[in-house]
Every structure is written in C-alpha cells, then in structure tokens.
A and B are shown apart, each in its own frame.
Chain A
C-alpha cells in the first residue's frame, strides 16, 4: 500500500515535470548514460560525491548577504508550495534563523538536507544495503535494500527510515519516520513529522549524478514538490572524507563559558 502511494507521488511529480518546463538554469533531464555495474549487477553509484550549489543556504532563489552567496533555487517550478500558515512560520524561522536553525544545535540534519551540506559523502553498495557515509557529523545512513518494508511507526528519527529499490538505472529511496526538529536549509524552510521524501539517484556520466528529492508533507505544503541538482564526483586523486564532529566543537567552545547551555529543542 505504501509502495502504491509512493508510486502515486512519483507519478504526480513526473506529471509536473512534463507539464511545466523546468526553470532556467535547472538541471537538464539526464542524458542516456549506461552506468557501470557492481558485481550484483546494479548501477554503480560508489565513490565520493558532493553537491556544488547554494541549497544549503536556501533552496529557493536568493540574494547574497554577509557570508551567504547568492544562488539560484533548486526547486522545480521555483517556489515551495507552503500552506498559508506554514508560510508565516517559514518567515518567522527565517527572521530567527540565527538561533532557531537546528544546524546550530549540531543535530542530525535529516534528508535531503544532509545531501547538499557543503561536505563530501561516499556511497558504498552491498547486496542488502546502500550505505551513505557523510563527512558532515561523520554520520552513516543505511538505505536498506533487503526487501523489508518500513518498520511500523510511529518513530521519530532525525534521518528517517530509508528503504531503497532500483528502477532501471535509478536508485529510488523512500524515506519516512522523521521528527519535526529539522529544516531543509539555513533559510528556515521546514517540515513536520509527517515528512515523506522520495529520493532518486541517477548516474548521468562518469563523474556526474542527478539527485532528485520529492517532498511531501500534508501538514505544511499544498502539494508534493521536487528539488533537483547534479552531484559531482570529487576529482582530487587524494580525496578523503575527513571529520566534522559538530557537537564536539560546540561543547568544547561553550563548556567553560558563563551561562553554558545547549540550545533547547524547540
């Protein structure tokens, strides 16, 4: 039943893509490319990848400000379809982003946000799972490919529960069981615990991969919407994931200051 529902969303998203031409500058449709295969016969997505855009600051078109590069949006159709009350909350989030952004608490950032944080990540494929090793927080996300459905909820995970399958040359990942404590970016774009994400990873060349994520949350948005961006294979011969243990730096910086506190969850 959940699979059917997912199919519906993907179908709706596909229809949107067909009926509305993509905004200028957005990722072109993937050219036909036959990716190399793993020993299991699936497209080989392995390696060190990184997004190269400003989605970490704002998923939508935005001007520059101090320390923030201007950027073109990655949302298909341009704007995120907020319900009116949710749009008000988003604006409040933006105004108070300096203190409210969960990134400042060093919490796990949820999906899809972790994909376009300005850090590389490495994909490792096995028969029963695809593991995504993120430099950001040095966390690992297991995309289960073992045929198990999502476990029964309610479960309030930061990174959700990821179940993957292959559709042609595309890895399709269905993610549910989130909590409401994470955002999509530093501009206050947010979701509820009802968030449902369908990610699509498609190799478009030897060193490029198309990343798409369809986002559904009936408590916050009027309809599903999709972000799309290329991922780039890091070319440095010595590329290597290093460390970003956010909460280690936070605790060490704050521990001996008067008025020490860890930001309360909102």
Chain B
C-alpha cells in the first residue's frame, strides 16, 4: 500500500479514456515494449507443482493463518484476462489468468463469445480489432470494483473466530466462516454474498448473489447474475498465497473454468507485484524510512473522478447493465 494524497485531478477527456480504468486508478508501473511476457497461470501452475508441501501456521482457534498484507496479481493490473502481446506502456505482454481450460481461453458459449467480442470492439484502449467507436468501458472506470477484481487487487487479511476480513485501501469484504447459509439469490450485489469454510489448509469461499455487472478485467470479459464463483485461498509457502478461482455459469460458459495466480506477501520480493516467482519471496521485507508507508490513505475515487465520468458520458460510452443470456 503506497501513500496517496488525494488530488482533485482535472483529467482531460482523452487521458480519462486512455487511463481511467480499474488498473490506472491504482498506482501502476510503466512497461517497455521489449519486456518479456509476464508469467501468470501457466507459469504458476508449473512452479507450484514443484513446491514441497507447505503446512501453514495456525491461528489460536486452530485454522490456517492467512493473515497479513497480500499484493495484487501485478503485471498489467487486470487489464486483459487472456494471454496477450504488448499493447502500450500500461499493458505489457502477459500470460492468461486462466489455468483451466489449458488453452487459457474463457469457454464462452457462442452467444456469450459474440457479446464479449462486441465489448472488445467498442473499447477505446488500442486493442487489435477495435472499431474506433467508443462504446464500452469497464465498470472499474466508474470506481465500481466488484468480485473477483477485489481479490485480484492487494488486500490485508485479518482472521477472527467465525469470519475472515479482507481490507483494501478503500473497501472491505467480511466472509463468515461460521456455517451460516447464503442469503436469497433474489438479492444481488456487486460483491455477491460470500460464505467461507476451511478445507484442510485452504479457505474455500463460495460467492453467490452476484449482480453480474462487474467484469474480470477492463476489456470486456464478463459474467452474469447467474454466475457462481468459488475461491480457494491457500499458502503455497510463507510469503506466497495460491489464489484459485472457479467460475460456473451454464448460461454463458460451456463448462466451469479456473483462474489461478500467486499473490505475494507485501514487502517481500521485488517491487511491483509478484508475477509468479515464488523463489524470490523469501527475501526480507524492504526497508523504508517513511513512517506512513504502511498506512492506507483516502483515495476518494468517485469523488475525484466525476469530471472524467461526465467526459466519458459525453463521448457516448454506454453504461453496462449486465447481460441477459438467451433462455
């Protein structure tokens, strides 16, 4: 977590369109064109297969202790879910987040694939195949992250008897682990409704009641209000969290599919995100002289970006209301 002082930015419309994505409102690196392709699911799956079995420490109430500050997925900041080549300084070449199917592609139904291509074509991000029509923007552009983007981003995990609490710099998740049932599926939320349980060394979180208005990335990979997600949080070693997400929705996907990547304990390893390399995570935390370095400071994302949102509206971008899959 870096220190931030909120500045009321008067982003130009062009800057807003280029940069105001879920990724860019957080701090991010700039990438040279010759940066080697960043590792994600494929590399991580191969790496973790070679790791010795790790037994996590336990909390006083006897469950695995996952507490601490965890980095985000790193790399292109959830810009593009699937394998891609270099696009621009914010979007280096990167492997797919998708670990299953093995080809790294989201297994959309034909209807959903057409929808996804429609979203991609209407972006204003410089992706191959864009029409130049500025039609579609990620919900993150409106400071509206839901799941699973929250989990892809950095967070602190705190455990209390009967619940796991996750804190980011501006919001939170509270995951009951006390066995209570999920709420009605008629009530839908950006974050859905989370229910956790411990399966051996793994925190398993079932997420239902999703409103289907969020994206997986900022370039149109979507889910629906019928989607059910299951997260698996497990320590692969002291400083590496193995995060695996299973996504099920027969109305838009032909089969369940998985996302898998590591999250690094903050302050260990090289700066700028974990990018899959667990061996480096045994490095000691980086020293800093800034006494405020570990504090989260106000981001006021919406309050500071209403000007850009007005600009996006005037350019004709559409609001994403979620999809309505055919019956």
B-binding residues in A (CB < 8 A): 46, 105-108, 122, 124, 126, 128-129, 131, 133, 138-140, 142, 144, 146, 148, 151, 155-159, 161, 181, 238, 240-243, 245, 247-248, 251-252, 255-256, 260-262, 265
In contact, B309 and A140 (Cβ under 8 angstroms): no
Closest partner residue, chain A, to B306 (CB atom): A262
Which of B172, B187, B291 is in CB contact (< 8 Å) with A138?
A: B172
- The 18 listed contacts between A and B (C-beta, < 8 Å) are A124-B158, A129-B295, A133-B174, A138-B171, A140-B168, A148-B291, A155-B5, A161-B297, A242-B187, A242-B189, A243-B190, A247-B142, A247-B143, A248-B213, A251-B144, A251-B309, A261-B310, A262-B306
B180 adjacent to chain A (CB < 8 Å): yes
| A118 CB to nearest B CB, Å | 18
A residues less than 8 Å from B309 (CB atoms): 251, 262
Q: In the complex where A107-B303, A144-B295, A260-B313 touch, is A251 in contact with B172 (Cβ < 8 A)?
A: no
Provide the bound-state CA to CA distance between A151 and B300, in Å.
18
In contact, A262 and B167 (Cβ under 8 angstroms): no
Q: In the complex where A124-B158, A157-B300 touch, is A140 in contact with B174 (Cβ < 8 A)?
A: no
6 nearest A-B pairs in the assembled complex, by CB-CB distance: A255-B319, A157-B298, A243-B189, A262-B306, A247-B302, A133-B172
| B47 CB to nearest A CB, Å | 32
A residues less than 8 Å from B296 (CB atoms): 142
Interface flags for B161-174 (1: CB within 8 Å of A; 0: not) read: 00001011011101
In contact, B160 and A124 (Cβ under 8 angstroms): yes
B191 adjacent to chain A (CB < 8 Å): yes
Interface residues in B64-115 by Cβ distance below 8 A to A read: none
Provide the bound-state CA to CA distance between A18 and B254, in Å.
71
B contact face: mostly helix, strand, loop, or mixed: loop
Q: In the complex where A247-B142, A248-B142 touch, is A126 in contact with B158 (Cβ < 8 A)?
A: yes
| B187 CB to nearest A CB, Å | 8
| B291 CB to nearest A CB, Å | 5
B37 adjacent to chain A (CB < 8 Å): no
Closest partner residue, chain A, to B3 (CB atom): A151
A residues less than 8 Å from B291 (CB atoms): 146, 148
Provide the bound-state CA to CA distance between A133 and B319, in Å.
28
A contact face: mostly helix, strand, loop, or mixed: loop
| A240 CB to nearest B CB, Å | 7
A residues less than 8 Å from B303 (CB atoms): 107-108, 158, 181
| B160 CB to nearest A CB, Å | 7
B6 adjacent to chain A (CB < 8 Å): yes
Closest partner residue, chain B, to A126 (CB atom): B158
In contact, B313 and A255 (Cβ under 8 angstroms): yes
Q: In the complex where A108-B300, A238-B180, A260-B313 touch, is A151 in contact with B171 (Cβ < 8 A)?
A: no
Provide the bound-state CA to CA distance between A181 and B171, in Å.
21
B39 adjacent to chain A (CB < 8 Å): no
B residues less than 8 Å from A138 (CB atoms): 171-172, 191
Provide the bound-state CA to CA distance between A144 and B293, in Å.
12
Q: In the complex where A139-B170, A252-B321, A256-B319 touch, is A158 in contact with B300 (Cβ < 8 A)?
A: yes
Provide the bound-state CA to CA distance between A129 and B230, in Å.
31
In contact, B295 and A142 (Cβ under 8 angstroms): yes
Closest partner residue, chain A, to B176 (CB atom): A240
A residues less than 8 Å from B183 (CB atoms): 240
Provide the bound-state CA to CA distance between A133 and B170, in Å.
10
In contact, B191 and A243 (Cβ under 8 angstroms): yes
In contact, B310 and A262 (Cβ under 8 angstroms): yes
In contact, B298 and A159 (Cβ under 8 angstroms): yes
Which of B167, B180, B190, B302 is in CB contact (< 8 Å) with A131?
A: B167
In contact, A251 and B142 (Cβ under 8 angstroms): yes
Q: In the complex where A247-B142, A252-B319 touch, is A140 in contact with B171 (Cβ < 8 A)?
A: yes
| B307 CB to nearest A CB, Å | 9
B residues less than 8 Å from A108 (CB atoms): 298, 300, 303
Closest partner residue, chain B, to A238 (CB atom): B180
In contact, A157 and B144 (Cβ under 8 angstroms): no
| A230 CB to nearest B CB, Å | 24
Provide the bound-state CA to CA distance between A260 and B313, in Å.
8
A residues less than 8 Å from B176 (CB atoms): 240
Q: In the complex where A140-B170, A243-B191, A251-B319 touch, is A124 in contact with B292 (Cβ < 8 A)?
A: no
In contact, B298 and A140 (Cβ under 8 angstroms): no
Closest partner residue, chain B, to A155 (CB atom): B5
In contact, A140 and B167 (Cβ under 8 angstroms): yes
Q: Which of A129, A156, A255 has the most CB of B within 10 A?
A: A255
Provide the bound-state CA to CA distance between A248 and B145, in Å.
10
Interface residues in B286-318 by Cβ distance below 8 A to A read: 291-292, 294-298, 300, 302-303, 306, 309-310, 313
